[in-house]
Amino acid sequence: MHALAVSLLLMSTPSTDVPDLEAQTRAWHEKRIKNLTADDGWLTLVALDWMDEGGNTAGSAPDSKLLFPKSAPPRIGTFTRRGLEVSFAPAPGVQVQKAGQPFAGGPLNTDAHGEPDVLSLGTFHFHVIQRGDRLGLRVKDIEAPARKEFKGIDRFPVSAKWRVEGRLEPDPSPLKVPVPTVLGTVDEMQSPGAVAFQLEGKQYRLRPVIEEGEDRLFFIFGDETNKKDTYGTGRFLYADAPKDGKVILDFNRAYNPPCAFSAYATCPLPPKENRLPIRVEAGEKRYGHH
C-alpha cells in the first residue's frame, strides 16, 4: 500500500489506547464541573460594565457607571481610568479587601499580563479586565442564582469514535491568527499550525491557538450540532502538545464556553477555518436557554 494511504488509514482510526475511556472522561468532567461551580467559577459571574476615561462610580445605585446587583451597597467606590491604568477609591464607610487585607485604595493590576488584583466586599469579588483598548469591571458573587440553581450539563455518550489521532502541520514561520470575540473585536493569537485528522474516511483540519502561559493546544471550533444540540457559537477543546507531530483530539471533552452560562463573559469565537461541516456528537450539549 502507498505510504500516504497507510498514513491516512491510521489517521482515520479512532485512538483506542485508553483502558477505560468512559471512566477517564467521567473523571475529567467531574473536575470540569468542580471548577465551574467553584467560588470563582463562571457560574458566579453577575456583572460586566466598561469604563470611561476618568472616574467611574461603582455600586447598586441605578446611576452607577459600573452597576452591581441590588444586594450590593448603593455606593462601593470609584474606579478611575487613565489610559490603560486604573486605580480605585472606596466610598466612605465601605470596607473593601484586596488579597484578604483591608484596601484603602490605590492602583490595580488588570488581567492584561498575569493575574489581576481581585477586590472583595461581602459575597462579591471583582477585578478589572482588559480587552483590546477597553477596560471593564468583572463582578462575581458566590451567592449568584446561576450557581445555586445549577443542576449539571447533559453530554453525548462517550465513544472511542470521537477520540482521534491527528498530525500537526506546522506553519513555516510563527503565525498569529485573527480570533473574533462576542464583543465584536478581533484578537491576534499565536498558532503553531493546523491539525489534520480523519473521521469516517474524510479529512478535516482545525487550527489551534496557544494561550499565554500554556503549552497545550486550544481549539475553538464549531460544527453542525451548534444552536440546536450544542451551544450556538461553538465549543472549546484542549489537546496536549504534539508528540512526534501527533496530536490526540478527544472530542468527548469538548465543552461549552463561559458565554453558555453567562451574558457577562467575553468569549472567543471559532475562526472561519474551524467550522466543521459535520455533526460532532460528542462532549457537552447545550446548557439551559443559552
DSSP 28-40: HHHHHHHHHTSTT
Domains in the chain, CATH or no CATH each: 3-37+153-274 (no CATH), 42-148 (2.60.200.20)
Report residue 71 as a C-alpha cell. 444586594
pTM here is 0.88
CB atoms inside a 10 Å sphere around CB 5: 9
What is residue 9's predicted lDDT score, i.e. its pLDDT? 36
Strand segments, DSSP code E, in the chain are: 45-50, 54-59, 66-67, 77-82, 85-90, 97-98, 101-102, 106-108, 119-121, 124-131, 134-141, 163-180, 186-199, 202-206, 217-221, 235-239, 246-250
What is residue 210's predicted lDDT score, i.e. its pLDDT? 95
- Measured distance CA(184)–CA(217) in Å, rounded: 24
- Measured distance CA(192)–CA(158) in Å, rounded: 29
Report residue 9 as a C-alpha cell. 488509514
What is residue 11's predicted lDDT score, i.e. its pLDDT? 41
Per-residue pLDDT 10s for the chain (290 aa) are: 333 333 333 344 455 456 799 999 999 999 999 999 999 999 999 999 999 999 999 999 999 999 999 999 999 999 999 999 999 999 999 999 999 999 999 999 999 988 999 999 999 999 999 999 999 999 999 999 999 999 999 999 999 999 999 999 999 888 899 999 999 999 999 999 999 999 989 999 999 999 988 899 999 999 999 989 999 999 999 999 999 999 999 999 999 999 999 999 999 999 999 999 999 999 999 997 55
